[in-house]
Chain A
Amino acid sequence: MAGRRLYRLLLPLLLVGAVNVQAQLNGGFSSDISFAKYLHDKEMYAHAHWVLTQMPETRLSLPQKDSLYYWRGWNAYASKTLKVAAENLMRVSDSADWAQKSHFFGAYCMAYQRDTAAYTAVQHIQLKDSIEHELRYFELAGIRLLQRDVKAYDSLRKHFTFSSYVMEGEERKMDAYYNKIMHQKRKSPLLAGLYSAVIPGAGKIYAGKKGQGIGAFFPVALLAGLTIEAYNVGGAKSARFITYSTLFSLFYAGNIWGSVVAVKVKQREQNNYYDNQILLNMHIPLRNLYN
């Protein structure tokens, strides 16, 4: 009899306990996420990262997991750890409210790291409206231009409307970079070397390094003058002639080699410049639309 009464008392207690534990779990999660957001807003990214990585992924509902991945990714993005950002942002499920934002930014982080999977990642984003459709083509075109696949860019750019407030300017700029890349003159390292062999420094000027070209001319010319004088006054066997002619030869050959390298360096610099501009252009519409 007493046992039955106690059993009746135990049942509601167990029920309240279960509800309480669930509420604790939910409350704990939302409180932790709010705290991480607070740290993120205060630009304490390392602290927010620590809080977010301490939060266990097990026993979380799908929306909670989405929220966790989003904040992990967004915080990593703000602290410029793009690999972590891409990994977490791409893990946000399609059902999340901020799925599009997460996936676009995640794919952007991948593109920034020259990850070839970035293109596929953008292709698979579930879109909501026409602006996002155009944004997808814009991002895909950007990725193709980064890969210097101008044919693919050309076909993707046909979807640009040049009328969206989000990316109108960037579409024009992207086209401008496309044109510059298309009409970029490929300079020959061999020709640069030949120019420098005829006139020291000319190869560097041809490569696009005017200052370096002028700077390279004077020491070689000076050593040439000293060598000629040493030959005229002291003859071919004089120590002065041997010293200066050796130095002249070294500088002359070095200048030719330097001109060959200068073409490659200039090419790399130009490519880096265009890449940075393309990435900047890909980034601006994302900020415009989602921030």
Chain B
Amino acid sequence: MTTRFYLICIFLCATCIIKAQQPDWMAVADSLYAGEQYFEAGIFCERVLFEQQQPDVTTKAILLEINCYKNQEQFDKAARFIAAAQTRAVSDTLQKALYTELTTCYYLAGDFDNCIAAADRAAVLYGNTGGTRWMNLLKLLSLNEQQRWQEAAVLYRQQVPGDTLTDYYAHIPHLKNEDKASWLATFIPGAGHFYAGNTLEGITSILLQGAGVYYGVTSWLNGYYISALLAGGGVAGAFHLGGVKRASELVKIYNRKKTYEFNQQVKQSVISRW
């Protein structure tokens, strides 16, 4: 009986001593990620990087941490993390994967300049191999966002030769000129608003400026000279200046809307064909 008791104790002690080793941080990160605890999972990935474990584990940790940031929709932080991780990535495969992730995160963060630059760097380093196709797609979408449709059309022709999508680029939206709207509103009340495509605001602008002028003229004719100049003139002048500014703003809104509609249309078609 006593012998059995001692044997059990020895077994437990030995097991305890053998088991007492470094925790598997990567497994913890994986399980947290599976449980959608992305913030915590990211911390344990960082722990793996801090402990400087085996290269394959480090690679796994880097890629998982990127996904943690992406799942938290912290794309700018993800891009910064990837840029820093690039210095410790030794293998070409990982470097390429990081470029793909970097371009994606820049695009999702709305940093189109850096997205294009990252895609260009990857193209120089890796040529037209597998992952660069995805980066070229993001570059094309970024060019669209920057209204650089001619360059986007050229890129599309290079990537998908003989496709009819380029027909879209033959009908790129005609964007309106903000300065033109301002000038029109300066010389013809309401004309800038009409040019920007907003008839209702154009008519309102004419009525408000007209009311100011009418009040000024009638006041003058009735001997209210100060009222004519300061109240009538003031009202008309204020609405005139406001109208000029508003016409320019309306053109901006119009251009933004047209660009968005066009880019959405192209984006859906490109993604389905790429």
Contact = CB atoms under 8 A, between A and B. Distances in A.
Interface of A: 2-3, 6-7, 9-10, 13-14, 16-17, 20-21, 24, 34-35, 38-39, 44, 46-47, 50-51, 222, 225-226, 229-230, 233-234, 240
Contacts of A233: 222-224
A47 B40 CA distance: 8
B43 A50 contact: yes
Interface in B1-46: 2-3, 6-7, 9-10, 13-14, 16-17, 20, 39-40, 42-43, 46
A16 B39 contact: no
Contact of A6 (B6, B20, B43, B230): B6
21 contacts: A2-B3, A9-B10, A10-B9, A13-B10, A13-B14, A14-B9, A14-B13, A17-B17, A34-B50, A39-B46, A46-B39, A47-B46, A50-B40, A50-B43, A222-B234, A225-B230, A226-B226, A226-B227, A226-B230, A229-B227, A230-B227
A229 B20 contact: no
A6 B46 contact: no
Given A51-B43, A222-B234, 16 more contacts: A6-B3, A10-B13, A16-B17, A17-B13, A20-B16, A21-B16, A39-B46, A46-B39, A47-B39, A50-B43, A222-B230, A229-B225, A233-B222, A233-B224, A240-B224, A240-B227
Interface of B: 2-3, 6-7, 9-10, 13-14, 16-17, 20, 39-40, 42-43, 46-47, 50, 222-227, 230-231, 234
A75 to B, nearest CB: 14
A46 B226 CA distance: 64
A38 B48 CA distance: 12
Contacts of A17: 13, 16-17
A230 B9 contact: no
B6 A7 contact: yes
A24 B20 contact: yes
B6 A10 contact: yes
A34 B51 CA distance: 10
A210 B17 CA distance: 79
Contacts of B224: 229-230, 233-234, 240
Contact of B2 (A3, A20, A21, A38): A3
Contact of A47 (B13, B20, B43, B231): B43
A16 B16 CA distance: 10
Contacts of A44: 46
Contacts of A24: 20
The dominant DSSP class at the B interface is: helix
A51 B227 CA distance: 71
Contacts of B227: 226, 229-230, 240
B105 to A, nearest CB: 17
A115 B42 CA distance: 36
Q: Would you list the 9 A-B pairs with minimal beta carbon distance, nearest first?
A: A6-B6, A3-B2, A13-B13, A229-B226, A3-B3, A17-B13, A47-B43, A225-B226, A38-B50
A14 B14 CA distance: 9
A38 B50 CA distance: 8
B220 to A, nearest CB: 12
Which of B39, B42, B50 has the most chain A CB within a 10 Å cutoff? B50
A20 B20 contact: yes
Contacts of B46: 39, 44, 47
A233 B221 CA distance: 12
Contact of B10 (A6, A20, A225): A6
A79 to B, nearest CB: 15
Contacts of B13: 10, 13-14, 16-17
A35 B10 contact: no
Contacts of B47: 35
B6 A3 contact: yes
A5 to B, nearest CB: 9
Contacts of A10: 6, 9-10, 13
B235 to A, nearest CB: 12
A21 B16 CA distance: 9
A14 B6 CA distance: 11
B25 to A, nearest CB: 10
Contacts of B9: 10, 14
Contacts of A222: 230, 234
Contacts of B16: 17, 20-21
Given A6-B3, A38-B50, A230-B227, A20 B17 contact: yes
Contacts of B14: 13
Which of A13, A39, A225 has the most chain B CB within a 10 Å cutoff? A13
A94 to B, nearest CB: 32
Nearest to A21: B20
A271 B174 CA distance: 55
B44 to A, nearest CB: 10
